[in-house]
Amino acid sequence: MADDKSPKAGDLVTTVERFFLDIIGSIIPGGLLIAGWTLLFGVPAMPGKWPSSFSHGLDWALVALAYVLGHFISSIGQKLTKIGSSINAALTRSSKSTGEPDPITTSPTYVAFLRRAVDRWPSYATIPAGELHDWRNIAMSLLTPDQNHTVYRFMFISLMSLGVGTVVVLLAAAWLIAKWALSFSFLQPWGSSLFPQVPALDLGVLALAVITAYFFFDRRAEFYSRAVRTPFSIALVNLEMQKEKTETSATAPQSLRKRTIYLAGGMRSDWQAKVIAELPDWDVVDPRSHHLADERQYTYWDLQGVRKSDWVLAFLEASNPGGYNLAVEVGFAKALGRKIVLVDEKSSADSTVQKYTGMLRVCADVTPKTLDDALTFLKRVSSLE
């Protein structure tokens, strides 16, 4: 957990991250391009005679070449993704075609993190909300080493996926132009040197290469989004925990601040939106906002969300296939002494389920029959302030 000091380690975090991604993330794609080119076209025969002493440093020369090619591949890959994004925006009339802000900078988690960070360090109010890179550095400096490792892993997978997808595209393009390069005399001897052997064109293999590249680019987009969003989600929880410690030690009475409520339950019916709309006087902790896929990370986020809340609204819908995560959150809230409102539709609809949910009901302070009843109760609680 970061301390209460202003996060000045952003530059250091960025340096470490860039070093790791630059070295490992450049050599591997570069090496794949060298290996793929050699398998497909043979070893290029460079004109002239190289000194015999050069063979002693060949391994290091290949590593250096892979590193340089890796940067070339990354640059090409970034351009390909930008072209793909532009085409997609034009076809779907997305926000990028209308000049609207990046969806990340308008997400509830990002906005909440900026608000908490500025509350803690007012000098950061001078940083524009659209400066995603600067704010991400600040968020990264608030993460623990284990949390940073998770973000680095997402970014590394993103970079590897981009590199592999770009290598597949480059090799497919080289295969298409190989015979063209050999058919013109003015391109010799470089054409025959770069393409010592040219396999016969196979449209089926080319189509498979295009499909493979697409899936790698799609994977890159998924993990890049995780790598960008995750720091804000975790850093927000860390800031909230620090804020809770400060408020706990403060002399102001509990009634002078907003109550905070955590929403435990299924993610499919969008019931959380109704709660948020009907409880404007409450600070609502909505687990849907963290966008985390890693089990350890979203479990950490959810339990810290319970910890920072005064109340937990647990909605066990009849359509909920399990309710196990909800049970963990209710048990954790009970251990912390939080007030629990449980709406148990599932037990009401199935007497067999009711036999196994007795502990949930005993843990709850209030057990309204419906979500509307729960909201009515919480509104009355709010009116007591």
126 with 166, same domain?
A: yes
127 with 26, same domain?
A: yes
354 with 300, same domain?
A: yes
Query: Which of 237, 262, 290 is at the close of a domain?
Result: 237
Query: By 3-state DSSP, what share of the chain in percent is helix, strand and coil, each rounded to 5?
Result: 70, 5, 25
308 with 171, same domain?
A: no
Written as tens digits, the pLDDT of the chain (385 aa) is 444 444 444 445 555 555 666 677 788 888 888 888 888 777 766 555 555 555 556 677 788 888 888 888 888 988 888 887 777 666 665 444 444 556 788 888 888 889 888 888 878 888 888 888 899 989 988 887 778 778 888 888 888 899 899 999 998 888 877 766 666 554 555 555 666 677 776 778 888 888 998 999 999 989 988 889 999 988 888 888 776 666 554 444 444 457 899 999 888 888 999 999 999 889 999 998 888 888 888 899 999 999 999 999 999 988 888 888 999 999 999 999 999 999 998 888 787 888 888 898 899 999 999 999 999 999 888 776 5
> Does residue 243 lie within any of the structural domains?
no
Contact by Cβ (8 Å): 300, 236: no
126 with 197, same domain?
A: yes
224 with 332, same domain?
A: no
Q: Which domain holds residue 265?
A: 252-383
CATH at residue 305: 3.40.50.450
Separation CA 29–CA 166 (nearest Å): 9
Tokens 């085409």 correspond to what residue? 87
15 with 72, same domain?
A: yes
> Does residue 71 lie within any of the structural domains?
yes
- How many structural domains comprise the chain? 2
> Does residue 244 lie within any of the structural domains?
no
Query: Which of 237, 268, 295 is at the close of a domain?
Result: 237
Encoded tokens for 96: 């990028």
